[in-house]
Amino acid sequence: MATTTVQTGTERVNYLNVRTTVASWLLTLDHKRIGILYLLGISFFFVLGGIAASLIRMELATPKGDLLSSDTYNKMFTLHGVIMIFLFLIPSIPASFGNFVLPMMIGARDVAFPRLNLLSWYFFMVGGLLAIIATVKGGIDTGWTFYTPYSSAFAKGEVSLAIVGVFLVGFSSIFTGINFLVTIHKMRAPGMTWFRLPLFVWAMYATSLIQVLGTPVVAITLLLVAVERSFGIGIFDPNRGGDPILFQHLFWFYSHPAVYIMILPAMGVISEVIATFSRRRVFGYHFVAFSSLAIAIIGFLVWGHHMFSTGQSIYAGVVFSFLTFLVAIPSAIKTFNWMATIWKGRVHWEAPMVYALGFLGLFVIGGLTGLHLASLATNVHLTDTYFVVAHFHYVMVGGAIMGYLAALHYWWPKMTGKMYPQSWAKLSALLVFVGFNLTFFPQFILGYMGMPRRYHSYPEEWWALNLLSSAGSSILAVGYLLPAIYLLWSLKYGRIAEKNPWGARGLEWEVVDTLPHPHNFERVPIVTRPAYDYDHPEEPTAIFPTPRPAYVGGGKDG
Amino acid sequence: MSVREVELHLAEHRREVPHLGEQYETIEQQNDAYTIGMWAFIVQEVLFFGGLFAGYAVYRFKYLYEFVAAHHTLSVVFGTLNTFVLLVSSYTMARAVRAAMQQKHHKQLKYLLWTIFFASIFMVNKYFEYSAKYHHNLIPNQSYSAEEIIHHNHLKVENGMVDLGARKVTLEEFTGRTKLFFSFYFIMTGLHGLHVLVGIIILAILAVRAGMDWVRKVPHADYMPVEMVGLYWHFVDIVWIFLFPLLYLMGGQ
Amino acid sequence: MATPHEEHTHAQRVSFYAKTLWVLMALLVVTVLAGFQKMPDWLGIAVALTIAVTKATIVIMNFMHVKFSSKLAWLFAGAGFFWLIIMFAFAFADYASRHWQPEQGW
């Protein structure tokens, strides 16, 4: 399918050239443009979060706390956490690629609520802006976890302003979740039954469930912290009758499922990429689909594993520990199914697939080390050490960000109509993989040896590993910088991409033009084949109208 | 039917129903989407308030006697009256939705105005309640004092210890814990009141539109906005249905 | 295709809504009366919550038309309250079990 058709985007109307004023972008209702707007926003915040990370690693390159004062260091890791989690990872894949590709994947012209979609972007940008302002005005040093009573009673700085920012970003997330849930239920094209959906859609559905059910709880919790700061109430302050553990319960009720908001979309991307580049239907499609739901649901039942050593009852700890082991199972199921897909596939290693492979290795390590932390006994030793830091970076960066980069490289031609140079892309993937491991693997060892997290200085005996970690981070930084360069380069000088450069199955590749028409499809397609139907390459996944194009999901159920 | 005929049918449908969004094929699809979208929003509101209920439950469990003593200063009369008023407002809202569905815009306007009326009574009652608390220094800010609670419950205070029957606590503890009750009281009823206020504003907008639909004799106005706001309004009522007994009535003996 | 499009709505007879209001009023009276009965605290809470859940269910079914809505609407409506229960149950389990003493030999 990699025929080179000369296609100059300016000849045909597409979502980019249909109107080009600034207003047409800032007031757009097109899900594709909103996806691009989000992409720009999160990239900006990623750079800021990366700068904070660089300062942290520069400080930790030597044992003495000589680059930053301890207060400033605290502000740096807080900034890094708040930006990377709330302003980058949570929206990343859902709001950018989800927005762009989801309606196309299900055969819809747009999402269910385009105006809500635009509103959610504005909430995101305003919330992010408030967080930046809070930083510029002096910042916060509470950690992204805002633990009380420090955040509610003692911290100086712009805590309340930062909380308002996070609150707004939270609602952005909720709106996106509502939009996707309704879109997936009600806007599937005729013939697009639940089990013909691409697995990315299942992943987005599960993610949206979490966004809607979990985010409001952290919203009200942070609001209470702001209220406590303003009115001197002792909701979370033990000196005034409050219970700091209550804060932790309410905070982690969202913040644990939040990590599944970050990883599920990446897993969805990996399913797509592995299927395409192995030229095979994902092995165990139903298992992978249901495991997304299982992760979302069980993920709500494990939050106490962040509180094993903070004062929670030991019996609650036992229950949470057991459930945490349970939640690892669906992730393992996915991993085995992906590997089985690749095993007998006709694999070709283009850039997105290289990132996907990186995901597999790094996610497995991250996931397995989660079990060390899930076990009560080992948790006591490892909690609040660099082991935890390494674990979550393996899953969030090695997992979620690799998935994000895979998505970027996979759907780039569809979004921009241009192709980037493959060799540079594969080199970057390799640099990210190597740099990442050099940065974070030593941290497992450091944590095991007892190095605490959130300290700007450490004993001399840990210098070598920390230096290695910091050196690795510079390689990682190059790995991230390169895509920024060659992708932007490709916008102007890149080869013009064909409609389906990867030879993939799926509506966004088979039916939607490169560049997509403003309404994706001139007429609603009828889906006739299941997803990933590589065994029947002669049959298209969808065809255009035959009698009675009603919509699926229009009856009482759906 | 041929493809062409079906497409003509859908195009005609779109002309008949001008409020059909471009992303939808039929009005049923759009209405279904709006309904479950609104329910998804209500679900997240349930979790939003739920966090407060959870916090209240935990502290009531820990400080039962202090919370009971504090809650005795709430006016059951006002609380009951407010519950009554909100239930009636839910009825008038349901009538407004019904009228909108039947395209009876004058009735729709009438019932929307009644709903606003009852909602406003609720807010006025709130004002009286809050003022009373303010006068008794029960607002949980720097000038909070537990004196009114002690006085209202006829509690004995000796040597800085408050006698709660089952146990004694220091005056400082008593003050702090009852202040916690009032923090939850004001945050929960305040947040709820904010939702009522926003509701009133939105209802006013709907009333204006109903009036315009009536004057212009619009035959097929979109009733979904009214129905969706109705869902929101009933949810606000339901929150109060839970708040009232848990804050005002739970006495414990 | 000249006839205007007919929409099926959930509008019920007025008596349906009026009867619903009466039932809710009656339950309000029960709520207040129950609030003044002497009973152990845990029972008082159970009674209050049961009545409140009953009232809420009636509002959801009748005023919010869930009785006539798709199964999907039922699912969404139920999910929110179910999720709330999860949060309560687990958080409370912690507080309730904080002071349990471990069994000898376990």
- Give yes or no: residues C76 and C39 share one domain: no
| Together in a domain, C45 and C31 | yes
Q: How far is CA A39 from CA A32, A100, A102, A272, in A?
A: 11, 10, 15, 20
CATH number at residue A412: 1.20.210.10
Share of residues in chain A with pLDDT > 70 (%): 96
Whether A6 is in a domain gets the answer: no
Alpha helices in A60-189 (DSSP H): 70-82, 99-106, 114-136, 159-186
Query: What backbone phi and psi angles, to 5 degrees, belong to B162?
Result: -95, 130
Whether B235 is covered by a domain: the verdict is yes
Q: How confident is the model at residue C3 (pLDDT cuts 50, 70, 90)?
A: very low
**How many structural domains comprise chain B?**
1
C35 touches chain B (CB under 8 A): yes
For residue range A177-187, list pLDDT tens digits in order.
999 999 999 99
Nearest CA to CA, how far is C67 from chain B (Å)?
A: 13
Check residue A230 and give its pLDDT: 85
Three-class SS of residue B162? strand
* CA distance to partner chain A, nearest, from residue C74 (Å): 10
Cα separation, A168 vs A128, in Å, equals 8
pLDDT at A312: 87
Residue corresponding to tokens 């709820």 = B192
Q: Tell me phi and psi for residue C38, to 5 degrees.
A: -80, 120
Mean pLDDT of A396-408: 97
Q: Does C94 touch chain A (CB under 8 A)?
A: yes
Provide the angle, in degrees to the nearest 10, between the axes of the packed helices A422-449 and A386-393: 160
- The chain B residue lying nearest C23, using CA atoms, is B87
Among B residues 69-98, those touching chain C with beta carbons less than 8 Å apart: 76, 80, 83-84, 87-88, 90-91, 93-95, 97-98
Is residue A255, in this structure, part of any structural domain at all? yes
pLDDT bucket at A157, cuts 50 / 70 / 90: confident
Closest partner residue to C100 among A185, A213, A315, by Cβ?
Answer: A315
Q: Judge whether residue A546 has pLDDT over 70.
A: no
Q: Do A316 and C93 touch (CB under 8 A)?
A: yes
Confidence at residue A2, expressed as pLDDT on a 0 to 100 scale: 39
pLDDT beyond 60 at A416: yes
Q: Of B48, B19, B44, nearest to B226 (Cα)?
A: B19
Q: Which of A180, A293, A312 to mutate against chain C (most C CBs within 10 Å)?
A: A312
Q: 10 Å Cβ neighbour count for B181?
A: 25
Residue A290 has pLDDT above 90, yes or no: yes
- The verdict on residue B208 lying in a domain is yes
Give the ipTM: 0.93
Q: Indicate if C52 and C91 belong to the same structural domain.
A: no
Q: Does residue B226 lie within any of the structural domains? A: yes
- What is the SS3 assignment for A172? helix
Tally the domains of chain C: 2
Mutate: best of C87, C88, C99, C106, partner A, most A CBs <10 A: C87
Q: How far apart are CA A472 and CA A475, in angstroms?
A: 5
Say which residues have a Cβ less than 8 Å from residue C42's Cβ, sequence separation at least 6.
Answer: none
Q: Apex CA B127: angle with CA B126 and CA B131, to 5°? A: 115
pLDDT at A65 over 90: no
Please report whether residue A14 resides in a domain.
no
**A512-547 burial, b for 16+ CB within 10 Å, e for fewer?**
bbbbbbbbbbeebbbbbbbbbbbeeeeebbbeebee
Specify the pLDDT at position C7: 62
What pLDDT is stored for residue C105 in this prediction? 54
Per-residue model confidence (pLDDT) at position A89: 97
What is the domain range of residue B171? 49-249
Q: What is the mean pLDDT of residues A108-116?
A: 96
Task: Determine the average pLDDT of the residues in A157-163.
Answer: 92
Are A520 and A108 contacting, i.e. CB atoms less than 8 angstroms apart? yes
Q: How far is CA A294 from CA A264, A299, A323, A333, B71, in A?
A: 11, 8, 12, 11, 42
Residue B13 forms part of a structural domain: no
Answer yes or no: is B129 within a domain. yes
3-class DSSP assignment, residue A523: coil
Q: Are residues C77 and C60 in the same domain?
A: no
Asked if residue C105 belongs to a domain, the reply is no
CA angle A344, A346, A347 (to 5 degrees): 105
Q: DSSP states of A254-298 as a string?
A: HHHHHHHHHHHHHHHHHHHHHHHHHTSPPTTHHHHHHHHHHHHHH
Q: How far apart are CA A198 and CA B13, in angstroms?
A: 31
B44 domain-assigned: no
pLDDT at C2: 35
Is residue C2 situated within a structural domain? no
Q: How confident is the model at residue A552 (pLDDT cuts 50, 70, 90)?
A: low
Q: Domain span at residue C23?
A: 13-68
Burial class (CB in 10 A: 0-12, 13-18, 19+), A33: buried
Position A478 confidence tier, pLDDT thresholds 50, 70, 90? very high
The count of other CB atoms within 10 Å of the CB of residue B13 is: 15
Place of tokens 């991307």: A269
Residue A548 lies in a domain: no
Structural domain includes residue C78: yes
DSSP secondary structure of A403-416: HHHHHHHHHHHHHH
Contact A492, A82 (CB under 8 A): no
Question: Which one is predicted more confidently, A231 or A447?
Answer: A447
Judge: B242–C70 Cβ closer than 8 Å, yes or no: no
pLDDT bin (cut points 50, 70, 90) of residue A32 is very high
pLDDT the model gives residue A301: 93
What are the residue ranges in chain B where pLDDT is below 50? 253
- pLDDT for position C43: 87
Cβ of C44 within 8 Å of Cβ of B252? The answer is yes
The pLDDT value recorded for residue B225 is: 95
Residues spanned by the domain of A121? 28-543
- For residue A547, CA distances in Å to A543, B5, B47 come to 12, 9, 44
A234-277: per-residue pLDDT in tens? 789 888 888 899 999 999 999 999 999 999 999 999 999 999 99
- CA-nearest of A171, A186, A56, A51 to A113 is A186
Which CATH number do you get for residue B191?
1.20.120.80
Mean pLDDT over residues A318-327, rounded?
Answer: 95
Mean pLDDT of chain A: 92
Nearest CA in chain C to B104: C11
**Cβ–Cβ under 8 Å, residues B249 and C31:** yes
pTM: 0.93
Is a pLDDT exceeding 50 seen at residue A557? Answer: no
Q: What is the DSSP string of C44-59?
A: HHHHHHHHHHHHHHHI
Contact A313 C83 (CB under 8 A): no
Q: Cα separation of B31 and B224, whole Å?
A: 7
Q: Measured between CA atoms, how close is A398 to chain B, in angstroms?
A: 31
Q: What is the pLDDT of residue A164?
A: 95
Distance CA A53, CA A80 (A): 6
Cβ–Cβ gap B253/C38 under 8 Å: yes
Give domain status of residue A88, yes or no.
Answer: yes
Residues of A in contact with C83 (CB under 8 A): 213, 300
Give how many domains chain A has, as a whole number.
1
Rounded to whole angstroms, the maximal C-alpha distance in chain C is 83
> B179–A240: do the CB atoms touch at under 8 Å?
yes
* Contact indicator for A208, A180 with CB cutoff of 8 Å: yes
Q: Return phi, psi of residue A418, to 5°.
A: -120, 155
Pick from B8, B46, B64: CB nearest C81:
B46
Tokens coding A20: 């080009």
**C91 has a chain B CB within 8 A of its CB:** yes
> Residue B220: which of C4, C31, C51 has the nearest Cβ?
C4
Is 60 exceeded by the pLDDT of residue A556? Answer: no
Indicate if C82 and C52 belong to the same structural domain: no
Q: What is the pLDDT of residue C103?
A: 61
Mean pLDDT score, A280-302? 96
C33 and C77 fall within a common domain:
no
Structural domain includes residue C3: no
What is the reported pLDDT for A511?
82
C1: tokens are 């295709």
pLDDT at C104: 59
Q: C94 and C48, same structural domain?
A: no
- Asked if residue C76 and residue C42 are part of one domain, the reply reads no
Q: Are residues C62 and C29 in the same domain?
A: yes
- For the segment C36-85, what is each residue's pLDDT rounded down to a tens digit? 888 888 888 889 889 999 999 999 999 999 888 888 888 888 888 888 88
pLDDT category of residue A7 using cuts at 50, 70 and 90: very low
Could you tell me if A117 and A99 are in contact, meaning their C-beta atoms sit under 8 angstroms apart?
yes
